[in-house]
Structure formats: structure tokens, C-alpha cells
Amino acid sequence: MVAPPPARPLPRSPASAGPLVAGESSAYDSRLLSTTMNIRPVEAIDRERIRQILVSVTNFTPQEVQWAMDLVDDSIAHDNGGEYVVQVLDDGEESERLIQGYVCYGPTPMTDGVFDLYWIAVDPKRQGQGLGQILLRFVENEVRRQGGRMLLIESRSRQSFAPTRRFYQRCGYDEISRIKDFYRIEDDKIVFCKRLGQP
């Protein structure tokens, strides 16, 4: 059993930007996807590729990568039925699909209809192609499908996270709180929020 991570496990990947992928029951704009793209639940075989993506995102420290992998392991151990849900975006032919990004999200404990996006990361080689936006829209639609009304995302104020913050703002998220010097001096915790109505 994996030791539980901090209540809200750290900042997300800066370089992801994107919408929704082929989800079976989720509503999304299929025009945003190539015919070979797919979003699906994580499997044990995906673990190493997710780790490679996290390591390649230079904003993440080794400790942060380990925390993110703890949540991936938890999701795999509970067959995506636990506290943390992990979905991967893959692209390619059936025989050689390669994961290009992933998301980790889940319901916020002791709330009614509030969810947290814990991690979102896209392979830096594929950033700027809309994959982050695809993943984020996928999560939003899954949250709506489950009766969620609000999605929260934490980030940080340091300069290297500026592209991440701009990405969330472009996707309709508002900064709703900031704790000064939370992570370290001059590195604030910033919480973004989107209230989810109908798509």
C-alpha cells in the first residue's frame, strides 16, 4: 500500500495545454482529436512512460516526481476506483501506441461536488499542440458527468510556472486564493477554480 501523499499533492505540469480525448461516456469535441488519439484509464504497463514524462518536465523536482508516481501507483492498485483517478492520452497505431500525457484527479474529500486536478503533464516534445487542453477538457467533462460543480487546481508563483498559470487562465480558470511564501520564500501557493456548468 502506498503511503498517502499530502492533501493536495503538488503543482501540475507547466507545459500542458489541451482539450479532450476519446472517452467512452464523456462528451467532448472530437474535432480536437486525431483519429489515432485515445484517452483511457491507466494500466500498470504505462507506469514507466508516465515517469519519463514527469522527469522530462523540468519544473518538477525528484521528490515531486515520486509523489506523482505514488498517486499513479495508488490508481493502478485500485483499478482507478480509489481516491485518485489517472487517465492517459496515447497516440499512434494500435500496435505501437505511445503515451503523450496524463492527468490525475479526484473528488475533494468532505465536499459536495468539488474535485481536484492533482497532476497534468504532457511530453515536452508534444507541448503546444493542444494535448493539455484535451486532457483538461476531458477531466472537466468527467467531473460534470459525475455531478461535479467545481474543479480546483493548485499551482505556484515561481517564474518557471508562468506558462502553466497562463494556460489555466486561458482555459477559463480564475485565481481564487494565494498563500504567500507557502512552498518557500517568494514561492506562493495559488489555487485556480472553474465552476462547471453544462459544456
> pLDDT tens-digit profile of 103-144?
999 999 999 999 999 999 999 999 888 999 999 999 999 999
pTM across the whole model: 0.80
* Across 178-189, average pLDDT: 96
pLDDT of 23 strictly over 70 = no
Please state which CATH number belongs to domain 30-195.
3.40.630.30
Give 153's pLDDT tier (boundaries 50, 70, 90): very high
Ordered by start, the domain boundaries in the chain are 30-195
* Across 22-45, average pLDDT: 63
Q: State what percent of residues in the chain have pLDDT above 90.
A: 71
Strand, coil or helix: what is 83? coil
Instruction: Phi first, then psi: give them for residue 58, nearest 5 degrees.
Output: -65, -15
Residue bearing the bigger pLDDT, 189 or 26: 189
Helix or strand (DSSP H, E) at 146: none
Q: What is the chain's mean pLDDT, rounded?
A: 83
- Burial pattern 44-62, b for ≥16 Cβ within 10 A else e, equals eebeebbeebbeebebbee
